[in-house]
Amino acid sequence: MHLKTPLSKAISTTKHHLSKLENLGIENLGDFLRYFPRTYNDQSNLRKIIEIRTDDINVIKGTLSQIIEIKTKYGKKLIKAKLTDETGSVDIVWFNQQYLKRVLYNGQKIILSGRAKFELGKITLISPEFEASQKKQLHTARIVPVYHETDGLNSKWIREKINPLLKYSKTLFTEYLPAEILKKENLMSYHEALIEVHFPNSLEKLEKAKNRLAFDELFLLQLKAIQKKWLWQQVEPQNQKIIANHEITTNFINNELPFELTNAQKSALNEIIGDLEKKHPMSRLLQGDVGSGKTIVAGLAIMNTILNGYQSALMAPTEILAEQHYKTIFKLFKNKNFNIKFLSGSTKQSEKKELYSQIENGTVDLIIGTHALIQQGVKFNNLGLAVIDEQHRFGVEQRSKLKEQQNPNLLSMTATPIPRTLAMTVYGDQDLSIIDEMPKGRIPIITRIIPEKKRKDAYNWIKDRIKKGRQAFVICPLVDESDTLELKSVVSEYEYLQNEIFPELKLTFIHGKLKAQEKEKIMTDFKDHKYDLLVSTSVIEVGIDIPNASIILIEGAERFGLSQLHQFRGRVGRGEHQSYCFLFMQNYSQTAIQRLKAMVDHTSGFKLSEIDLELRGSGHIYGIRQSGIPDLKMASLSDSKTITTARKHAENLIENDPYLKNYPKLAEKISELEKMYIKD
């Protein structure tokens, strides 16, 4: 037996069951043993018959007698019996389970667990679960594991199949964590944790087992990231290091910018410039809310790169966003003698050719564009800095494409801030800079939860604003999974609003099923004020400046995560007008209201994602799913204590033994993890 032994060889079962397991992703022994319970029923406290209660599950050990089958006058079949222990006896009844006649017998020592009814002065146990009394109970009289069940695979079946395999766990799972870490963190050994997590001997042991398994996940994830970062830093960049020109930078900031940098922008810039000056290439993530001014920080890093004679690239996820950057940065450097070019999928073929050769021979100082920048023909002469905007919109591989060529400094940017400990795990191979401060003079967006009875008033109010020249967004409720339903919901909302509510206004709609180009066309037209109101699903593009749009109305707001609501809200408030965000709800639960209140009270994306993490866990944080990390089974990304501890150990280890030469099993584990990473 080894971990890769196919399940068909490890357990005896039917093809049918094997294919059900396969649907759950369980193909071999290792997968099966790592199929952890979803939860537990604590049935470890046995009751005597004299202690039976009617308000609770009773777990009782005793002897069966007087088993009989009865047919009621309504034709129902019952099995009745008595259970006796040293304190007395109790009646039992099972409905419609005729097979029990063959399974149970008088004199059998058994454990029952179930509810009891008190009627006509008599207590009866109703259809209890049962298990023959034996040395190791699996289904009763213990902390009972409950697994995710699919039809035909219930927990009882899984327990019976996993239990006999656990005896192999010691030989199958040799310990791979360094002994010092096990000792320092007082961790249970892996194989013991595996046994305890399936069939816990006590709640304390279960807790320790879970801790161990959670630690492993967070440790391995970070170890891998830190090792990746270390390895990457060993590769000599093809270009000489950059030396910042502080005089020109300060002059530029003082004389060419129409505003003063915020303190947060200054410190982010210092961190980035500090990295550029290091021998090994930068790998840094710049996090900051929409409108916090990340572009100018990137711009100043680009300027220093060009002043050192190197090329820069700036890549954005959509054409319209890339174009917006091009315009901004072109204007920013109007007094500099920089050769700045734009490249996207829709650049003409002949122009592309010319651009390719200019990029290759080094005449282009800065190329701004879309995915087109990582296409085959693009060869840089001496790329010193690559900037990726809205980095979570790119796949893991697309992101690494830009650094493959010449191992340049890499600056990623995101407007979906997440708490620091979380970012450390998810983006562990990058350093973090955070802009947590908005430029002075921004008018905060007013956010309100609107009760249904005020809907008409809200529509009238919006109409009034639009007549004064503003524009508005309406976001449709989240539709589960199905694109077709989502499409229907956005079209019907659009028709309703256009025909019934705003007949005199110009409306349009956008959704995920449209091609990228169609989406861009709608966004550009909306930006050019060809429409007053845009109805959208959650696909609405990030990062686009439409300063004239000052109202966003979100339907079914309670169904979105706070960080995503915050993203939506960032579509407005980019101009000189007071902006508004109206939240409508479909289900008014206490917790939903509490969550949405956070939107009213807080304007910081960091704060909101922290609250989201606390209330709903990490699965709902916008940007996590896109980050490419594997699903965690035991660990929680909100467990910042374990994250931090695990990270310290991982850093320590890589510092002393970057190739894990002294820990071959750990090294092997890391390469396994590599395969689990979501590929795109």
Contacts with ligand ADP: how many residues (CB under 6 A)?
A: 15
Binding segment for ligand ADP among 258-266, 268-276, 359-367, 452-460 (CB under 6 A)?
A: 258-266
Backbone dihedral region of 50: left (phi > 0), alpha (psi from -120 to 50 degrees) or beta? alpha
Contacts with Mg ion: how many residues (CB under 5 A)?
A: 1
Shortest separation between residue 530's beta carbon and Mg ion, angstroms: 24
Task: Tell me whether residue 288 or residue 419 sits nearer to ligand ADP (CB atom).
Answer: 288
Q: Is 253 in the site for ligand ADP (CB under 6 A)?
A: no
How far is the CA of 356 from the CAs of 66, 278, 360, 407, 409, in angstroms?
90, 29, 6, 19, 21
Q: With contact defined as beta carbons under 8 Å apart, do 297 and 435 qualify?
A: yes
Task: Tell me whether residue 222 or residue 295 sits nearer to ligand ADP (CB atom).
Answer: 295
Task: Tell me whether residue 327 or residue 633 sits nearer to ligand ADP (CB atom).
Answer: 327
Q: Is 292 in the site for ligand ADP (CB under 6 A)?
A: yes
Bridge-partner residues for 549, per DSSP? 471
Q: Is 288 in the site for ligand ADP (CB under 6 A)?
A: yes
Shortest separation between residue 180's beta carbon and ligand ADP, angstroms: 43
Task: Tell me whether residue 281 or residue 543 sits nearer to Mg ion (CB atom).
Answer: 543
Q: With contact defined as beta carbons under 8 Å apart, do 490 and 512 qualify?
A: no
Report the site for Mg ion in 542-581 (rule: CB under 5 A): 543
Q: Which long-range contacts (CB under 8 A, 24 or more apart) does 258-261 make?
A: 259/439, 260/440, 261/293, 261/296
Q: Is 415 in the site for ligand ADP (CB under 6 A)?
A: yes
Q: Which residues contact 130 (CB under 8 A, 6 or more apart)?
A: 104, 110, 111, 112, 113, 140
Alpha helices in 376-427 (DSSP H): 396-404, 420-426
Among 95, 259, 496, 588, binds ligand ADP (CB under 6 A): 259
Q: Which long-range contacts (CB under 8 A, 24 or more apart) does 150-155 make?
A: 150/20, 150/23, 150/24, 152/16, 152/17, 152/20, 153/17, 153/20, 153/21, 153/24, 155/37
Query: Among 387, 345, 380, which residue's Cα sits nearest to residue 364?
Result: 380
The CB-nearest residue to ligand ADP is 293
Going through 325-365 in order, the beta strands assigned E by DSSP cover 340-343
Beta-strand pair 471-475/109-119: unpaired
Sheet holding 507-510, edge to edge: 446-449, 580-583, 549-554, 471-475, 533-536, 507-510
Q: Which residues contact 45 (CB under 8 A, 6 or more apart)?
A: 59
Among 291, 512, 575, 628, binds ligand ADP (CB under 6 A): 291
Beta-strand pair 580-583/549-554: parallel
How far is residue 614's CA from residue 96's CA, in Å, rounded to a whole number?
45
Q: What are phi and psi of 549, to 5 degrees?
A: -80, 120
Binding segment for ligand ADP among 28-36, 90-98, 284-292, 653-661 (CB under 6 A)?
A: 284-292
Among 261, 592, 615, 632, binds ligand ADP (CB under 6 A): 261
Query: Among 364, 416, 410, which residue's Cα sits nearest to residue 387?
Result: 410
Binding segment for ligand ADP among 109-117, 290-298, 480-488, 530-538 (CB under 6 A)?
A: 290-298
Q: With contact defined as beta carbons under 8 Å apart, do 61 and 83 qualify?
A: no
Report the site for ligand ADP in 612-641 (rule: CB under 6 A): none
Shortest separation between residue 295's beta carbon and ligand ADP, angstroms: 3
Shortest separation between residue 656's beta carbon and Mg ion, angstroms: 40
Shortest separation between residue 266's beta carbon and Mg ion, angstroms: 18
Among 158, 296, 449, 476, binds ligand ADP (CB under 6 A): 296
Task: Tell me whether residue 389 or residue 555 sits nearer to ligand ADP (CB atom).
Answer: 389
Task: Tell me whether residue 220 or residue 321 sits nearer to Mg ion (CB atom).
Answer: 321
Shortest separation between residue 354's beta carbon and Mg ion, angstroms: 29
Tell me which of ligand ADP, Mg ion, none is bound by residue 299, counting a contact when its beta carbon lies within the kind-specific cut-off of 5 to 8 angstroms.
none
Binding mask 11-40 for ligand ADP (x = CB under 6 A): ------------------------------
Shortest separation between residue 388's beta carbon and ligand ADP, angstroms: 13
How far is residue 287's CA from residue 627's CA, in Å, rounded to a whole number?
14
How far is residue 416's CA from residue 403's CA, in Å, rounded to a whole number?
23
Binding segment for ligand ADP among 71-79, 286-294, 361-369, 374-382 (CB under 6 A)?
A: 286-294
Report the site for ligand ADP in 432-451 (rule: CB under 6 A): 439
Chain positions contacting ligand ADP, by CB under 6 A: 259-262, 265, 288, 290-296, 415, 439
Interface residues with Mg ion (CB under 5 A) are: 543
